[in-house]
Amino acid sequence: MTVPAEPSAQSARAQLVELCAHPPERWPGSTGPLHPSSDPRPAAVLVLFGVLDAVPSRVTGTPVARDLDVLLLRRASTLTDHAGQVAFPGGRIDADDAGPIDAAIREAVEETGLDPAGVEALGTLPPLALAVSNHLVTPVPAWWRRPTPVVAVDHGETVDVFRVPVADLLLPDNRGSTAHVRAGRTWRAPAFVVGDVLVWGFTAIVLDRMFDALAWTQSWDARRLIDLAP
């Protein structure tokens, strides 16, 4: 019997390019209600994929290569917004930025010290309203064509920078939902747990929507609740 060949990391890049060129028509518009009079601040995040190191996932049978990773960081617990959460590199779009791509890469350099010459921006996805901090955030999928060392540059903002294998995120046993109460309403959203890394909130929503759109998602139990307590 012929064993199907494992997908290559480069095939994922081609799929990401296609996703940016033809984003889903039903891409989510918000992670919660914005106040009617709010004026959300524009921001961007870098969703950086690639073969970030030589240590592949042990998970097999997923739609992606075992050495495909995504770059994440852990925010400082002293920050006002999203304290202690795992997130993508990113931040507000400044007046000097040419647009979301420029802002996402600039912020990634400031937060992780990566070499921007090794990063290939593949496009953008529709902006997502982040109600809790009143931002309108544009995800910028990108490919790390020449990985360089990364580190938490400013520990006042970021305490750790690391890679997570995409195959581990897709594993159904590593998936579930979170529930938290805001403005008197309980919000449920997708989440991922890989070892001691909990990805929830905005970052998990973006990954979940991207995995669905890329047809990478494997069936998982959305009824499984993941505790957000420390």
Report pLDDT digits (tens) over 157-184.
889 999 999 999 999 999 999 987 776 7
Place of tokens 């580190």: 151
Domain 9-31+39-165, CATH among 3.40.605.10, 3.90.79.10, 3.90.226.10, 3.50.50.60:
3.90.79.10
- For residue 42, pLDDT over 80 is answered with yes
- For residue 35, pLDDT over 80 is answered with no
Read off the pLDDT band of 75 (50, 70, 90): confident
Q: How far apart are CA 168 and CA 182, in angstroms?
A: 30
Closest CA to 193 of 175, 178, 180: 175
- For residue 84, pLDDT over 60 is answered with yes
103 conformational bin, left if phi > 0, alpha if psi -120 to 50, beta if neither: alpha
DSSP letter (8 states) at residue 81: S
Q: Which sign, positive or negative, has the C-alpha torsion 13, 15, 17, 20?
A: negative
* Under 8 Å between Cβ of 100 and 138: yes
- For residue 31, pLDDT over 90 is answered with no
Q: How far apart are CA 146 and CA 156, in angstroms?
A: 28
Which pLDDT belongs to residue 7?
Answer: 84
* Lowest pLDDT segment from 23-32, 121-130, 186-195: 23-32
Map out the domains of the chain as residue ranges: 9-31+39-165
Read off the pLDDT band of 33 (50, 70, 90): very low
